Structure formats: structure tokens, C-alpha cells
A and B are shown apart, each in its own frame.
Chain A
């Protein structure tokens, strides 16, 4: 005879296994439903508090292979680093819009901008930005030049810009544009001149 305690334990365990299986199935279905829904992967727009400010965005165009200045009014935080980050986020959001002239992947975002000193800025991108970015010399250079030109136009005095991905150094953006070193703003401005 099986002791009553063992029988009860076995029954409870079997019931628990069945219950967990059903719960797992429910969770799976729920997750699949969530996955099927279209998700807006664009970064959260800048906070609407504060006075709207006119900022210059240097918009890249794949069709012309160049950069074009576009002035927009957006509300921005006062703190310097957050101010710079939100400007770059506005640029990224522009690239993620439907009519984007230089599409960036959904979910690409600028995590942080560190203004190390008056001359040096470090831009931290999220991993989606780099992993899902289109590969090619021109297409990557357009992204980098557009971000640096936009940053410098709105935060004057910066002479060097470094890009990180998820807080870490990375060799290239998507196989071509070198991210291992600082970008010299004067050299990027010369490139922007060539691109216009």
C-alpha cells in the first residue's frame, strides 16, 4: 500500500503540474497576442513642458545623398545633457516617421548625451540603433554626419563627438562608419559641405 501522505503529495504535484501547464499556455497566448499588435517603436517625444524652442535639424536624404537643414519648434528641458539628448531624439523621430527621407529602424533611440566638457560630447545609442541600421558607407556616414551637425548646431562649442552603443565602444555603426574613435567636428562639417 502507498502511504496516504505519498498519494496526496503525488496528486497535489500532478495537479500543480497541470495547473502550471495551463497557466503557461495562457501566458504564451497572451504574449503572442501582444506580439501581433503593432507597436510604436519610436522614442518618446520630448516633454511638452517648457517654452518651445527653435532648433536646427540636419536631415539626411538617401535620394540626394546629402544633408538639409530644417528648423523645428520643440519643447526642451533646460539641463544641458537632456537638452542635447532630446534634440537628437527629435532627429531620430523624424527619421522614423512614415515619410522619412533616411529611414532608421523602429526602436532606435538615443539613450543619453554626455557633455563631458565644453568641447567634448559623448552620444550613447541603444543597441537597436546599431544592430538594425542599414549597412553601407554613405548610408552610415549620413546618419553620423546628420547627428553630429545637428548636435553642434544646437550646442555650439563642441569640437569632438564620440558614439557609444549601450554604453560600450563599438568598432563600426553597421560595418562601415568608424565608431572606435572621436569624430572631429571640423572634419564632419567639411563632409557636410561635400554632402550639401
Chain B
């Protein structure tokens, strides 16, 4: 700060201030420098905020596909690149003549001019809410104008959800209802109109179900509060181009699919038994990890079986959701192969009259402990976990690699890590039987042991199946319907034969 000569009050009077203590304003040059510095920092701040706005996205749902485009901010208004929006919808041709832009979508022309709100869509005048911006090959239109603009360009019904930045084209929507059952057991049932593939994540005190690709729309209230129940609230909301459901609870939750992926049931883990099938008793066993697995007598051998027990095969397509499993190729993930194969096996077993529970019928994240809990609480007679690999050829069947001296636990409760011990012999017998059936279909097969989670925690005969391409083929063979059906048929036949043998038929 600069000090100069000045006086306040009368000279040398009682109100006068000593000359050297009076501040004066900065000189013009200094002020310019300070102003430039402040401007520089403001620009820095502005570019930082602009970058964060760029990370927002808009999701567009059509009956055939779902895709996202990034939003960008200009003059405090959210803009979207119209070319990026249109390209997945048809043939787009862009011509720029100075400040004028001509966009042709499947032959229909629209015209825009940089810095103008007036546009022409298929020969009709159209007003944008803000100026059109053309830059770096991008035709930026205000987000608020996009839905009516698309409606005019596509001649299709367009529905826009501004809160979640989601656009639904040509009736692409999957409305769902939320049904809360407060007791016996408490659960939340979501009924969708089409199968869904959400990502499900468990956190302490809540479960988050995120739909990154499905055009789901909640038809009920945004939030449902439940009193005197382990499940305290259900919240449906949309944000950043996706729909989400948050379920708050005081106990760990599990989610199961049914009805071909159209129904999602969420309930506390301890009570996650086959609710839709009331004749099955629900014992209060198998708490959350480190849990005590239910000591359930196996279906095999028959001597150890309880009378009138159902024969439920639990099929577990491994991985899913955030966990992709092995990258079998640049585009093929293990989680997709296991799901496709799991569905084939379910069809083959059901066609033979076997009751099946598919643990994952969508792209969902389920931990290995949750998989074992679901198998145990559903009182699986047989558990089959499906994997896929690119090394080697044919099929590998795995049983648990438990220490040889593992004693089968006795009593009502068994240690979590030894849940499989009492069933190991049955698992090995079953694996040998399945290998015979698969081999009879001229598919190469090996029986091995493996330390594969969650085999040790399953209180039922448990098998791991690793599918590799057939000899002389590549990983694309894993997606072959013929191969999947042949293998699924072999496994299903082997399971039924083993069951009949155990039943003494």
C-alpha cells in the first residue's frame, strides 16, 4: 500500500492526522494489474466450473437402444450436441456454410444459424430457447429445446424428464410399480413391464439399485416410508441420466429376480427364502457373514434326506454388474457368457420338470457371500455356479478344494467355512455323473477341485462349471447357441439322472 501526503481536519489542529499515516488509492497502473489478476483467477474458476458441467450427461432411450451424450454449458445454459443425439437414430448429414448449419436426418433437413434462436425444421419455423452455437463440428442446441426439436425432427412421441436428464423416444418406457409388504416377511416388490438389468449395491443401512440402461419410470410416489419394519423407506428418483432406487433398512438386504427379470424382490437377508412359494417353512437361520450356514441335509445321498423335500436347483451365473469377470475378448465379458449359459440351463432343467432358482437374471452385482446365503436360505438341493474361461478347451467341473481332514459338522449350526464339508462327497459323485453325461455329447470335460468362492459356504452339493471354447475354436464359440444348448442339455440330463438315482428310481 502506498502512503502519501494528506490531511484530514484542520491543519495541525486536533483533528489532523500525521502525514505518513494516510492511505491513498492505488495508482491507475496498479489497479489495472490487480484487475487483470482478479480477472485471471475468475477465468480459472469459470473454466473449472465449465469442466464439471461437461461431465453431466443426457440419456436417450429408444425402443431398440439406450445411449448417453454429454452436456456442455454455455452462458449458464445447458447445451447438447444435436449431431451426437441424432447419429444413433439414423443417417445424419451435416453441412456448414459460414454461420449456417444444415442437418439432414434420414433425408429430412433442418437449418440453424449460429447466434440465432430461429431455426427451420422440415420447412417449418422453430424457435430455440437460446441461441444456436456451432463450434468444433458440434451443433449445440439448448437442452430445454431438445425434446420439442426431436419431436419435430423425428415425428415421434418424445417424453423428457428434466430432473434426471432422460429422454424417452417413441414410447420407450418401462413403468414400474412399487409394492411394500410390511410383514411376513417384510419386503419390497418392484413390478416392471419388461425385464431389467440394474446394478445393485449394498451399503451399510441401505441398498442402491441403479438402472443405467433401462428406461424405467416410477409410477408411484417418490418416497414410501414404512413404520415398524426392518425396511424403513423406499425412494425412487432420477439423476444424471439414470433412474435409481434407494432402500433404507436396519438389516442387510438381498435382491432376487423372478418372472423372467420383470419382478425384483428386496428383503432382509435372513428372511430371503422363496417367498412366492408359501408351503416352504422359513427357519431363522443363516445370518449375514460371517454367518452360520444352515445345516440342511442334502438331497444326495437319499438316506440323509428329509421326507417331502423339494428338489430346487440354484443356478448362479457368476460375476455381473460392476464385476465383469474375465475379459474373454475385447468385447466379450465373462459375466455375459455366464448369464446366457445360466438361462439356457434354467430352460433345460425346467423342461425336465425341475424347480430352478436363477440367482442373477440381469446385469446385477451380487457378492459371493450373498450367493451362498441365497442358496442356503432357499434350501437348495443342488448349487451350480457357472464361469467361463478362454484357457484350454471344453468344460471343467469343479468341486470344493477343502482340506482332506475336514470333518462334516454336526448339529443345527455349522461354521460358515465348513458348510460344504458335509456335502463334499455328494458334490464329487455328482460331478462324476455330470462329466459322464457331458462326455456322451462329445464335449471334452475334466473334473477338478478348486478353491472357488463360494463353494465352501454352500450347504448343499455344489459344483462349479467353467466353460471354455471347444477344441479348435476361439472364444466366440462361447456365444454359440448350439454349444450352450448342448452343454446345458448335458448338465440338465446329468442332474436329473443323479437325482433319480438318489431317489431310487
Interface of A toward B, CB cutoff 8 Å: 1-3, 6, 10, 62, 65, 134-139, 141, 144, 171-172, 174-178, 180-181, 183-184, 186-188, 190-191, 194-195
Contact = CB atoms under 8 A, between A and B. Distances in A.
Contact of A175 (B323, B391, B417): B323
11 contacts: A10-B33, A134-B391, A136-B334, A136-B390, A137-B396, A138-B468, A139-B391, A174-B326, A175-B319, A184-B402, A188-B401
A136 B29 CA distance: 69
A3 B2 contact: yes
B404 A186 contact: yes
Given A139-B391, A183-B451, A187-B403, 19 more contacts: A2-B29, A2-B33, A6-B30, A135-B326, A136-B391, A137-B387, A137-B450, A137-B464, A137-B466, A138-B392, A141-B448, A171-B368, A172-B453, A174-B326, A178-B453, A186-B404, A187-B402, A187-B404, A188-B401
B448 A191 contact: yes
B181 interface: no
Nearest to B394: A65
Given A2-B30, A139-B391, A175-B326, A194 B452 contact: no
B452 A138 contact: no
A187 B326 contact: no
Contact of B391 (A2, A138, A144, A180): A138
A67 to B, nearest CB: 12
A48 B392 CA distance: 37
B27 interface: yes
Given A2-B29, A134-B326, A184 B391 contact: no
B262 interface: no
Given A135-B334, A137-B464, A138-B396, A144 B390 contact: no
Contacts of A3: 2
B466 A186 contact: no
B45 to A, nearest CB: 19
Contacts of B404: 184, 186-187, 190
Contacts of B468: 138
Contact of B387 (A6, A176, A183, A191): A176
B325 interface: yes
Contact of B451 (A65, A178, A190): A178
B450 to A, nearest CB: 5
B446 interface: yes
B453 to A, nearest CB: 5
A194 B448 contact: yes
Contacts of B456: 178
Given A134-B326, A138-B389, A187-B403, A65 B446 contact: yes
Nearest to B398: A137
A187 B391 contact: no
A137 B27 CA distance: 76
Contacts of B401: 184, 187-188, 190-191
A184 B449 contact: no
A149 B46 CA distance: 61
Given A2-B33, A181-B417, A136 B449 contact: no
Contact of B27 (A1, A135, A171): A1
B327 interface: yes
A178 B450 CA distance: 9
A135 B327 contact: yes
Nearest to A64: B392
A135 to B, nearest CB: 4
A11 to B, nearest CB: 12
Q: Which of B30, B392, B402, B456 has the most CB of A within 10 A?
A: B392
A65 B450 contact: no
Contacts of B33: 2, 10
- Residue from A1, A172, A178, A194 whose CB has the most chain B CB atoms within 10 Å: A178
Contacts of B334: 135-136
Contacts of A174: 326
Given A184-B404, A188-B401, A194 B389 contact: no
A134 B466 CA distance: 15
A141 B451 contact: yes
Nearest 10 CB-CB pairings of A with B: A136-B389, A135-B326, A184-B403, A178-B451, A65-B392, A137-B466, A139-B391, A62-B391, A187-B401, A136-B326
Interface in B438-459: 446-453, 456
Nearest to A160: B403
A138 B451 contact: no
B389 A139 contact: yes
Contact of A138 (B2, B405, B466): B466
A64 B466 CA distance: 16
A183 B450 CA distance: 11
B387 A136 contact: yes
A100 B431 CA distance: 32
Contacts of A183: 451
A13 B33 CA distance: 14
Interface in B448-484: 448-453, 456, 464, 466, 468
Contacts of A172: 453
Interface string B305-336: 00000000000000100010111000000100
Contacts of A177: 450-452
Contacts of A186: 403-405
Contacts of B466: 136-138
Contacts of A195: 448
Interface in B1-41: 2, 27, 29-30, 33
Interface in B369-427: 387, 389-392, 396, 398, 401-405, 417
A171 B390 CA distance: 22
Contact of A178 (B30, B325, B405, B452): B452
Contact of A141 (B2, B368, B450): B450
B383 to A, nearest CB: 16
Nearest to A178: B451
Contacts of B464: 137
A117 B334 CA distance: 40
A159 to B, nearest CB: 9
A174 B389 CA distance: 12
A2 B326 contact: no
A3 B323 CA distance: 63
A187 B29 contact: no
